[in-house]
Amino acid sequence: MNNRELKNIIKIFQTSNLSSMKLERDDVKIELTKAQPTTAYSGEQVVKEVVVNESDKSQSATEEVSSYTQVNAPLVGTFYAAKAPDKPPFVHVGQTVKKGDTLCIIEAMKVMNEITAPKDGTIKKIHVENGDMVMYDQTIMEID
């Protein structure tokens, strides 16, 4: 997780209705909590704990820039590769898709949100595993 992603997470949390949030991704653990107002809403927010390991900083510096179209998560939620646990995944690496085809589902607050292909192409990489928590604007797939 690089600094830009971390700043985006904090910004989204600050503008959300959430009072607290925990996130664990690779070696990064983040716990955010908003201060609870005592009389009137003050708008004051507190970041309780942010732990970033040095290995993540060096990893983000060596990330490659891809020439493929990135499919990013439009919201925070749980990534599902299939409609149900006993069903096959919507897509797999190497599969050709048409614009508008369902690529995956992101569940947020018990609402299943279908994520569709932004263009015709071939799935080149899937960055997340079934059941993973995804953050807003996190790259979940790449299409050529």
Q: Model confidence over 75-126: pLDDT tens digits?
A: 999 999 999 989 999 999 999 999 999 999 999 888 899 999 999 999 999 9
- The alpha carbon of 70 is separated from its chain's Cα centroid by a whole number of angstroms, namely 13
pTM metric for this prediction: 0.55
The last residue of one of the domains, among 41, 61, 81, is: 61
Total domains in the fold of the chain: 2
Q: CATH code at 133?
A: 2.40.50.100
The last residue of one of the domains, among 15, 37, 61, is: 61
Domain of 31? 3-61
CA distances from 43 to 9, 36, 48, 109, 118 (A): 18, 9, 16, 24, 37
Task: Please report which confidence band the pLDDT of residue 30 belongs to, taking 50, 70 and 90 as the band edges.
Answer: confident
- pLDDT of 40 strictly over 50: no
**Residue 111 shares a structural domain with residue 92:** yes
What's the per-residue H, E or C state across 47-97?
A: EEEEECCHHHHHHHHCCCCCCCEEEECCCCEEEECCCCCCCCCCCCCCCEE
The last residue of one of the domains, among 45, 61, 77, is: 61
**Residue 75 shares a structural domain with residue 128:** yes
Q: Residue 97 burial by CB count (10 A; 0-12/13-18/19+): exposed, middle or buried? A: buried
Mean pLDDT (the chain, rounded)? 79
Token duo for residue 118: 């932004």
**Residue 32 shares a structural domain with residue 76:** no
